[in-house]
Every structure is written in structure tokens, then in C-alpha cells.
Chain A
Amino acid sequence: MTDQPNAAQSSLPPAAPSQLRRAMDSDLFYAFRRSPVAMVSAMGAALLILSSVLAPFIAPTNPFDPASLNLMNGFTPPMTPNAFTGESFLLGTDDQGRDVFSTILYGMRISLFVGFSAVLFAVVLGIFLGLLAGYFGGWIDSLIMRIADVQLTFPSILVAMLIFGVAKGITPIEHRDQMAIWVLILAIGLSDWVQFARVVRGATLVEKNKDYVSAARLIGRRPSAIMMRHILPNILSPVLVIATISLALAIIAEATLSFLGVGAPPTQPSLGTLIRVGQGYLFSGEWWILFFPACTLLALALSVNMLGDWLRDALNPRLK
């Protein structure tokens, strides 16, 4: 994975960054228009993301506003009028009479927020440590990469669970529910930085020996400027690919943690929390409380995953 983008860059003629950028964009766009899988998954992802962002405007009710809840509406099946109130809901209601459609929209918001923030955190941390390790080498490199090796020994979901547990222990009991979302972001982000650091380090090792870096060093630019302004823009495309695939994995990781009860609290339910709640009603026949959040999670994870897979192939020069 590390050597692909470098091959792409060395085969391109030396051009101004803006032209190179534009050429890559248009290539990518051309490939995008010709791939039905990419179009469909991008549209699916865009639809889901947009509807969660616009949740306050789309959702029929605000599920977290106690004033709008009516306990009499509890357990209304989808598209059927409630026996007591006569109200009907698109995807039914849960035990407390909350509209399932609305809770899904708001839940997806939290899932996406945690997913995006966690990946962003992992990307920033991974780029920072990867650049340091690749550019300076020596003991900094050894230290960072040994930490990465130790962490890679364990599955990332286990690392995330441990970090969550420890962070939960540090936060005072009265703040635990409010902090849970941030702890979750920290846990998933910290469990995921290694792959970014590895890729960035590998690419930096190649880039730092190129002429433009030597030139920048000659005119006396500081190492931080060389890393951020010169090397970083040239190694971003593999980072972008891994980040997209990581987003799908982060969404699933968040859902898994919340499902296990070590993630988003019931006061701020993500899709995973909704599935956890819904599992309790599996035997009593209220299938819709579980079914619709599960389908949404699947659609979200699948569309982002397929987009990431396509992006990886599209940016891989060896497959062209």
C-alpha cells in the first residue's frame, strides 16, 4: 500500500501542484462517473449523511424532547395506527413511544459524528507521528514504531475497549454519561492511528530524499515547514483511501462498543445503542425496534466501505 502513490507521483511529469491536483481530480472524477458501484454507494452515503445532518428538519419528532413523548404511543407497529391514540408512525415506536424513524436519524448523527471525529483524530495523530518517524528517523522512529508494533499485536476493538474502560475510570461518575461520546472518539481514534502512521512514515521515507525536499532544506526552511507544507501534500492520497475504509470500520466499531454497553449512553443513543435496546424486544415480537436501526447501520457501513474500496482501486496506478 505504501509504494503505490509514490509510483504514481514519480511517473507524473513535474508540474505545478495546482495542475497536478486538477489532473488527479478529473481522472478520479472520470473513473467515478464510469463506475456504477461508486455512484450508487456515494449516493447512498450522501443520502444517509445528509439526512442525519438535517435530522432536526426531517425527523417528525424530536425523540429526546420529553415533552413530545406520549407513553401511550409505546410499541406502535410500523404504518399502523396506535390502538389508544390513533397516531401512526412510519417505522413504528419503541417502548417509550418514541418514533423509531426519528431516533434512527438522531442516532445516525451520533454514529457519524463519532466515526468522523475518531477517524479525524486517528489521521491527525497518525500523520503527525508518521511524519516525525519518517523525517527524523533514529530513536524517534524506533520509539514510535515499537509502540505501533505493540499496539498492532492486539485487535483494535480490544484496544478501544481497554481505552474506554480506563478513560471511564478516570472521569468522575457524575460526568460519565456526558463524556461518553468523547471517550468513545478517543478510544476508537487511539486504536486506529497505527495504520496511518505506518503509511505516512513509509511515504515520508521516500519523499524526503527527493530534490524538492533538499531544495527546501537548502533555502533554510524549518523541518516543521518542510514536513507540513512540502511532504504532507504529496503523501495524502493513500491517507485518504485508508481514512475512507477506516470510517466504515470506525462506524462498526462504535456500533459494536455501544451494543456491548461500553459506548454511547442511553441518553445519547447511537445506532449501536438502539440495536442494544431493540434486542430486548426481539422475543416479544416488536421486531421493528431492532430491525430498522440494524438495516440503517448496515447500509451506512456498506456504502462507505464500497466507496473506500472503489477509491483504493481508482487511486491505484497498477490497476489502470
Chain B
Amino acid sequence: MGTESFKMLHFIFKRVLQSLLVLLVTGAIAFSMFTFVGDPVENMLGQERTMEDVERLRSQLGLDKSVPVQYFRFLTEAVQGNFGVSYRQGRQVSVILMERAPATLELAALSALFAVALGIVLGVFTAIRRDGFAANFIMSTSLIGVSLPTFLIGILLIYLFSVTLGWLPSFGRGDVVHIGSWTTGFLTESGLKALILPSITLGLYQMTLIMRLVRSEMLEVLRQDYIRFARARGLSDRVINFRHALKNTMVPVITVIGLQLGAIIAFAIITETVFQWPGLGLLFINAIQFVDIPIMAAYLMMISVMFVVINLFVDILYAFIDPRLRTAAK
């Protein structure tokens, strides 16, 4: 038992170190973006500029200092969530990020909910009615759904539900309600309507993934002896399928859901552009188009912290559940 928990500690220690390394590397990348890409002064001032303007802005941004000094400054500021001033908007990056975050988080939350709920339901359904027409139909459509690029799915949905039927809006968040610094679309009718198409677009891929996983895990579990015994005891199908079988498929499903959370935030970039959703992804794409380095760097740091934390959490959780991974882990 002693060696067992020591191994566990060793594993966690190694994974935390690895995560810190990833963060250090992305931090260095973000800093070099600041330092070596383009001339921010050139970007911020227009054609009509005087030398005094240039000098004033250089010292304001700290660009007249040496590289190590700038690096140290960057690190200390980044830890406090301060990423400087956007070249394009001339405002604090942290303020802009805070403004945009609610839109992305609400969208991501709803698509995750959609993906998990529908994915599990359809997965169980296709596993139980394995040879039925409906199950086969769902499985083959899901294949097409996976090979369609996200942005085409979004356009297709817009064409169907906005252009042809006119039921749902094709862009924006609708009316939002301000609660402190948070803005929410959950409280108005137009806000809720605006959420539907983007969440489906964003969650569809994860939904198919979860559905296929639940299906194959269910098929695996339903073949086992304890299910046969449960049947012999005369338990109802509902109890067997949901109480006994589904529960045992949850470990890999939870892992995949955890890992896909990060992917949802990243792929929100595409969905947000299709639907002109005023979130972090659209902000990032616009930052790339206009080479707005502070926003790109801040987004990179933010998303890497998120990915690293999620990966670390899932790995450690998994190691607790499955002891084989502790020794096999590299």
C-alpha cells in the first residue's frame, strides 16, 4: 500500500511538472510574439505621427527596455492577468477579454450540455436497438456529420433555419441582460433563440463522439455475465440498461467529456465566426487578421492554462480510477 501511494504521488508530481513545462513554453512563445513580431508602435499610430509620439508610446509600452527586463515584466504582469493594451482597440486586453468571455462560456456550456445529453441518449439507443432501422440510420448519418467541416454545418443550419424557414437568427447574441460584469443571453427570448444554432454547430462533433463511445462501451458491457445474471433475476430492461450497464460505461465517457471541453472552447473560434458571435473566438480571429499581438498572446496564455489544467485533472482522475496507468504513464 505504501509503495502504491508513493507511485501515485510520483505520478502526480511528474504530471504537474510536465504541465508547468508546457505553460513555461507557451509563456515564452507569447513573450516572443510580443517582442519579435511586427512593430506595435507602427501598428498603433497611423500615417501621421511625430517622433515624439513614437518615443512616448515606446516608453509607455516598455519597449525601450532590454529584452530580459521586458520578459520579466511580461511574466509578472501575465500572472496578474495583465496583458497590456490592444494595438487595435487601444484598451486593456484584460478588460476586453472579460467583456467577451460570457458569450463564449455560455455558448460552450450549452453545446457541452447538448453534446453530453443527446450523445448519451443516442448512444444508449443505438446500442440497445443495435440492428434497428433507426439506429442504423443514426449511425450512418453520424459518419457524414463527422466528415463535414464545422463551418459548413453552421452554414447549412443557417440556410435551413434562418434563410429558408426564418425561425432563428443567423448572427449575434440577440438581447442580453447585464448582471454585474456578466452578460447573459439566457434570460431573453431573442437571446435564447440566438443560442440554438451556434450551440448545435459547436456541439455536433462532440455529440457524435460521445454517442459512438457510449454505444461501443454499452455493447461491450451488455455482453458481460453480470448483465446476463441481472436478466435471469428478471429485472426490467430499463433497470438493466440504465442502472447496471450505463453506469459502467461512464469512466471513459467522463474522460472524453473532460478532454473535449477544451476542444469546444478552441473550436468555438470557427462557430463564432460563422455566426458572428461576439465571444473570445471571434476576438482571436480578428486579432489575427489585424495582427493584434497582445490579444493573440493573451488568448494563447488563457487557452493553454485551460488545456493544461483540464488535461492534468483528467489524467490524475484517471490514474485514481485505473491503477494500470500509474506505472504505464510516460
Q: Which residues of B contact A153 (CB under 8 A)?
A: 22, 304, 307-308, 311
Q: Are B149 and A154 in contact (CB under 8 A)?
A: no
Q: Are A275 and B267 in contact (CB under 8 A)?
A: no
Q: Are A275 and B151 in contact (CB under 8 A)?
A: yes
- The answer, yes or no, to whether A283 is at the interface (CB within 8 Å) is yes
- The answer, yes or no, to whether A288 is at the interface (CB within 8 Å) is no
Size band of the interface chain A makes with B: 35 or more
List the A residue with the shortest CB-CB distance to B18: A149
List the B residue with the shortest CB-CB distance to A146: B21
Q: How many residues in B have their beta carbons less than 8 Å from beta carbons of A?
A: 42
Q: A170-B37, A256-B149 are in contact. Are A165 and B21 (CB under 8 A)?
A: no
- The answer, yes or no, to whether B254 is at the interface (CB within 8 Å) is no
- The answer, yes or no, to whether B148 is at the interface (CB within 8 Å) is yes
Q: Of the candidates B37, B149, B307, which one forms a contact with A255 in the assembled complex, judged by CB atoms under 8 Å apart?
A: B149
Q: Which residues of B contact A165 (CB under 8 A)?
A: 287-288, 291, 296
- Among the stretches A62-70, A212-220, A294-302, the one at the interface with B is A294-302
A164 to B296, CA, bound (A): 11
- Among the stretches B96-104, B155-163, B236-244, the one at the interface with A is B155-163
- The answer, yes or no, to whether B208 is at the interface (CB within 8 Å) is no
Query: Considering residues A166, A261, A282, A290, which has the most beta carbons from chain B within 10 angstroms of its beta carbon?
Result: A166
- The answer, yes or no, to whether B300 is at the interface (CB within 8 Å) is yes
List the B residue with the shortest CB-CB distance to A276: B151
A138 to B270, CA, bound (A): 40
Q: Are B155 and A298 in contact (CB under 8 A)?
A: no
A301 to B266, CA, bound (A): 22
Q: Are B155 and A256 in contact (CB under 8 A)?
A: no
Q: Of the candidates B36, B38, B266, B296, which one forms a contact with A157 in the assembled complex, judged by CB atoms under 8 Å apart?
A: B266
- The answer, yes or no, to whether B289 is at the interface (CB within 8 Å) is yes
Q: Are A154 and B266 in contact (CB under 8 A)?
A: yes
Q: Are B291 and A260 in contact (CB under 8 A)?
A: no
**A147-188 Cβ-contact flags toward B at 8 Å (1 or 0):** 001100111011001101110111000000000000000000
Q: A154-B307, A169-B291, A260-B270 are in contact. Are A275 and B155 (CB under 8 A)?
A: yes
- The answer, yes or no, to whether A279 is at the interface (CB within 8 Å) is yes
List the B residue with the shortest CB-CB distance to A168: B291
Q: Are B291 and A282 in contact (CB under 8 A)?
A: no
- The answer, yes or no, to whether A259 is at the interface (CB within 8 Å) is yes
- The answer, yes or no, to whether A232 is at the interface (CB within 8 Å) is no
Q: Which residues of B contact A302 (CB under 8 A)?
A: 147
Query: Considering residues B25, B152, B284, which has the most beta carbons from chain A within 10 angstroms of its beta carbon?
Result: B152
A256 to B269, CA, bound (A): 11
Q: Which residues of B contact A93 (CB under 8 A)?
A: none
Q: Are B307 and A161 in contact (CB under 8 A)?
A: no
- The answer, yes or no, to whether B263 is at the interface (CB within 8 Å) is yes
Q: Are A294 and B155 in contact (CB under 8 A)?
A: yes
Q: Which residues of A contact B149 (CB under 8 A)?
A: 252, 255-256, 297, 301
A301 to B152, CA, bound (A): 13
List residues 276-305 of chain B with CB under 8 A from any CB of chain A: 284-285, 287-289, 291, 293, 296, 300, 303-304
Q: Which residues of A contact B304 (CB under 8 A)?
A: 153-154
Q: Are A261 and B285 in contact (CB under 8 A)?
A: yes
Q: Of the candidates B22, B150, B263, which one forms a contact with A256 in the assembled complex, judged by CB atoms under 8 Å apart?
A: B150
Q: B-side interface residues toward A, CB under 8 Å? A: 18, 21-22, 25-26, 33, 36-38, 147-152, 155, 158-159, 162-163, 170, 263, 266-267, 269-270, 273-274, 284-285, 287-289, 291, 293, 296, 300, 303-304, 307-308, 311
